[in-house]
Structure 1
Amino acid sequence: MEDYMQPARAFLDWFRAWPGTTFHDDIEIVDLRARGAGRGIIAKKDIPVDTVLFTIPRKAIISATTSELATLVPSIVQGADQEEADGADDGDEEGDNEDTSKQDPWTSLILIMIFEFLRGDASPWKAYFGVLPAVFDTPMFWADDELKALQASPVVGRVGREEADEMIKTKVLPVIRAHSQVFFGEGAPLDDDAIVQLAHRMGSTIMAYSFSLEKDDDEDENDEKKEDEDVEMKDGDDEHEHEHGPDCDHDHGDDSDSDSDSSGWVEDKDDQLPLGMVPMADMLNADAECNAHIGHGVDALTATAVRPIKAGDEILNYYGPLSNGELLRRYGYTTEKHAFFDAVDVPWELVQHHLAEQLHLLPAEAAKAADAVDVDEFEDPVMLDRDFDEDEETGQLRPPVLEGEEAGASGASSTVLRELPQTLRRQAKAFAKVALRQQQKRREKALANAPKSKQTGKNGKNDKTHAPKTEKEVVAAGLVGALTARLAQYPTSLEADEKEFAQTPAGRLHSALRVRIGEKRLLTEAVALAKAMLTEAKAEAKAEAKAEKLASKAKKNDLRGDDEEQPSGKRQRR
């Protein structure tokens, strides 16, 4: 029977033998498969805050500055001069004919990882490759039936297998073919399909484990780095930093790079900082609440305890304020605490449709109103997410406490959407304002041109069966309709999903259920808020109508009083 921990022991021996590394005696690498987490690092004894857990010298990081491939094929390094690349002696007769000067940090590191992996025993990082996964649970590798379990989650549209295939075939495969001897030596070259599969594996490895590496101090004297400066996990755009929400805001891509609208791990290469694979740092699992911090100095990276860690506790890193959907897409797993950052998209087209429906607008009228809307920083889709405070010093989360409330215990059970996004309300209000103004103009024009008999009802009074709605009513009713329709895009109910989740073992279906449950909870909370808005808007409209009616009645009574004070014509004749 295969010893699951043997590669980890070999890796630890290799790590300790590397000059400049440290590994604290009170921590150990263990098998955490019973928790559904693979390998991880735990504390053997109580560990005080600020304890250095381990140290990784920069020379141990796999990157363009440490791999021999950067010397053999200089053009794979981002920003390399094409003339230098063309003149490099790479030992291959085919020469450097491909356009490799446009390699970015992602494709550069993919090529480096493939090169080092294919070297086998000759690679300084062979023991490290032994603990890196060969199989991933990210949706990119799911079968179609497995993807269907995500239902209407925005994750489905962001898997990006086709985009990744295209990038590999245009930027990775040509380099390997042009430098076949460098990559394969005297061995038989892999066929194209095998190279593409290997590139997918390395791309997913980079997605899950690489770090963005800041410039060394000696590269720029003006960019001095503090010894405790953060090294962020490479987890894509800042948009999903709730803004987050993660984006989080996820937002997913404010970068100007042309790939910012693509999907899968392709889109996450927008950050142009160099990337590196950091042995031991990536042995740490991660959660929304962490107890360890990865910092960097000029010569080494260090893992430090950010709060006291009890014996038996797992040492956890932090990947950022990512929703469970985004955590699954990037890293292939979900956690209960990442429900703090759950997020779901609401397409603006859906909101606009339901706003127009409230006003009985024709498609052309709705389009005209949409064109006239003037909103700064228009957002589409609008992201629903919750607000939470993060304590950067202790790695803990604090749900917001409203006035009159008591602070609750940290955990996903305390997650509640407090208000609808301001962006959503602002855009809906702007559309409703324009549409109502246009509608009022059409109504006035129609009344002016209509025969008098058409302007009154049976009793000669104004017909109020089609009385216009207030702006607040339109906005609230439109949001209720749009959010309800977005929730209805998931074919199963929240209650059914929660019941199935409780009976489903860890695995891909379990992760898919957790993602869609979090999104449905958000939408359910959003619908409740929109309904409360509608109830309030109707109450205000009713109160205003009542006030106007009383004012009108009072005015009529005043007029009658004035008439009674004056003698009638008949009395004058008497």
Structure 2
Amino acid sequence: MAGPSKKKIRLSNAVDEDDERLDSFLQWCAKEDFQLNPKVYVGRQGSCAQYGMVAHEELEEGECLFKVDKTAVLSTETTEIAHLLKKGEASLQSDSGWVPQILALMYEYTNPKSRWRPYLQLVPDFSELDQPMFWTEDEIEKDLCNTGVPEASKSDLTKMKLEYTSLALPFIKKHSHIFSEEVHSFELYKRMVAFIMAYSFFEPVSDEDGQGDEGGKSSLPLMVPMADILNHIAKNNAHLEWDKDCLRMVTTRQVAAGEEVFNTFGQLANWQLLHMYGFAEVWPENIYDTVDIPMQVLFDEAKLAAGPADVQLLEEKWLFLEDQGVVSENGSFIAGMEGILTDEEVYESFKVLCMTEVEFREHQEKEGWSDSD
């Protein structure tokens, strides 16, 4: 293993000369033994965002870009106040499960002697956090109406305020020797939530046989230095692999010299990317993008097309579809890049709405449904 001085020289060659914060972060990574691949460059040059990772030599598929020891991951278990969070665990339970991690971040972010100071002073740059939770109500309603984002952001803010006042604030008051209500305010709490939304990772949950479940998530988000510098695209060329004691960012295909290295935040539509991370991919690059069509639109259009004598029958049909769980008041039909994703619901809805009265009555009887049910 190379000594610290050699690592420092190697990492210094990969940093913008005028960016002292980035240089400090990379030297911290060397001290923490991140083992950054010498074929990549970390900085602003060639990055689609504030920072990024770019290959200055060709990378092969399966090549490790860097390794992060789990002790360097910022979590409720590694923070300096881990013992306090563990002791107060029962009083910090919430639906999100995020309160302990948010408190850990609030403490470490405001602690000038934090082990993660070089990381936290680099990421996040709060001026770069642009999730809709920071927009005005007028901006959200004007620009994001019917996208699902206004409702999601409103729900986020409501839950945030409740968790802060009922859980986080009592903990802050109880431990006033390390927390301050003025410093560790709701505004900082909100910023830490945005930080977690935009930068955190979730370790895959293992099943009873010890096999990883890619769809599962741990109860708490984890902050992984270096990994969160990589930007996202749907057609990513790298992903994070979890081992027992460390995490590795590994290429998923060959990466050409000069090409930016991209991780993936998941198979997310643009409205989800905007809600969680504050950006969206230009069409048609996001192969997972979707459009939500409110189910109520289909019903309203069907009523407009129906004659006055048919409206009552149409309402019966819609009530039947609701009872069968095919449609709902606030539900949506979802269209993806390759077609309708909720094709079964769309097919069943059109089938029932287009039935004659005789056909519909027979269908009702067949499904065991009647007005008396």
Normalising by structure 2, what TM-score?
0.80
How do 1:160-559 residues align onto structure 2 when only pairs under 5 Å count?
A: 160=154, 161-183=157-179, 189-191=180-182, 195-214=185-204, 222-224=208-210, 273-336=219-282, 337-360=284-307, 365-373=313-321, 377-380=325-328, 381-386=331-336, 417=339, 421-433=343-355
Structure 1 residues 284, 274: closer, same or farther in 2, change over 3 A?
same
User: For residue 258 of structure 1, what is the aligned residue in structure 2?
Assistant: none
Q: Distance in 2 between matches of 1:425 and 1:377?
A: 13
> In the comparison of the two structures, how many residue pairs are matched?
338
Please tell me the residue identity of whatever aligns with 1:224: G
Q: Distance in 1 between matches of 2:357 and 2:195?
A: 50
Contact 2:164 2:189 in 1 (8 A): yes
Shift of 1:434: 7.3
Please tell me the residue identity of whatever aligns with 1:288: A
Shift of 1:375: 7.1
Q: Greater CA radius of gyration, 1 or 2?
A: 1
Larger relative contact order (CA 8 Å, sep ≥ 6): 2
Q: Higher mean Cα deviation, 370-379 or 169-178? A: 370-379
Q: Distance in 2 between matches of 1:4 and 1:333?
A: 27
User: For residue 125 of structure 1, what is the aligned residue in structure 2?
Assistant: 116
Structure 1 residues 16, 164: closer, same or farther in 2, change over 3 A?
same
Shift of 1:439: 9.4
Q: Distance in 2 between matches of 1:424 and 1:352?
A: 12
Q: Give CA-to-partner distance per residue, 1:232-275, whole Å, 9 cap, x none.
A: 8xxxxx9xxxxxxxxxxxxxxxxxxxxxxxxxxxxxxxx55332
Q: Give CA-to-partner distance per residue, 1:427-474, whole Å, 9 cap, x none.
A: 23224437565799xxxxxxxxxxxxxxxxxxxxxxxxxxxxxxxxxx
User: For residue 39 of structure 1, what is the aligned residue in structure 2?
Assistant: 51
Contact 2:317 2:352 in 1 (8 A): no
User: For residue 409 of structure 1, what is the aligned residue in structure 2?
Assistant: none
Shift of 1:24: 0.7
Q: Distance in 2 between matches of 1:374 and 1:200?
A: 38
The percent identity for this pair of structures is 24
Q: Distance in 2 between matches of 1:436 and 1:6?
A: 77
Shift of 1:214: 4.1
User: For residue 139 of structure 2, what is the aligned residue in structure 1?
Assistant: 146
Structure 1 residues 43, 355: closer, same or farther in 2, change over 3 A?
same
Q: Point out where structure 2 has 5 or more consecutive residues left out of the alignment.
A: 1-16, 363-373
Contact 2:204 2:218 in 1 (8 A): no
Contact 2:48 2:231 in 1 (8 A): no
Structure 1 residues 434, 290: closer, same or farther in 2, change over 3 A?
same
Q: Give CA-to-partner distance per residue, 1:528-568, whole Å, 9 cap, x none.
A: xxxxxxxxxxxxxxxxxxxxxxxxxxxxxxxxxxxxxxxxx
Task: Verify: 1:100 aligned to 2:96, yes or no.
Answer: no
Contact 2:295 2:333 in 1 (8 A): no
Shift of 1:420: 8.1
SS at match of 1:277: coil
SS at match of 2:292: strand
Contact 1:382 1:424 in 2 (8 A): no
Q: Distance in 2 between matches of 1:149 and 1:103?
A: 29
Task: Verify: 1:16 aligned to 2:16, yes or no.
Answer: no
Contact 1:43 1:312 in 2 (8 A): yes
Please tell me the residue identity of whatever aligns with 1:108: P
Please tell me the residue identity of whatever aligns with 2:133: M
Q: Distance in 1 between matches of 2:273 and 2:96?
A: 23
User: For residue 30 of structure 1, what is the aligned residue in structure 2?
Assistant: 43
Structure 1 residues 431, 278: closer, same or farther in 2, change over 3 A?
same
Q: Distance in 1 between matches of 2:28 and 2:68?
A: 12
SS at match of 1:29: strand
CA RMSD of aligned residues (A): 3.1
Structure 1 residues 130, 277: closer, same or farther in 2, change over 3 A?
same
Task: Verify: 1:157 aligned to 2:147, yes or no.
Answer: no
User: For residue 13 of structure 2, what is the aligned residue in structure 1?
Assistant: none
SS at match of 2:281: coil
Q: Distance in 2 between matches of 1:4 and 1:322?
A: 35
Q: Distance in 1 between matches of 2:304 and 2:249?
A: 56
Normalising by structure 1, what TM-score?
0.53
Please tell me the residue identity of whatever aligns with 2:241: G
Structure 1 residues 173, 116: closer, same or farther in 2, change over 3 A?
same
User: For residue 50 of structure 1, what is the aligned residue in structure 2?
Assistant: 62
Q: Distance in 1 between matches of 2:327 and 2:18?
A: 48
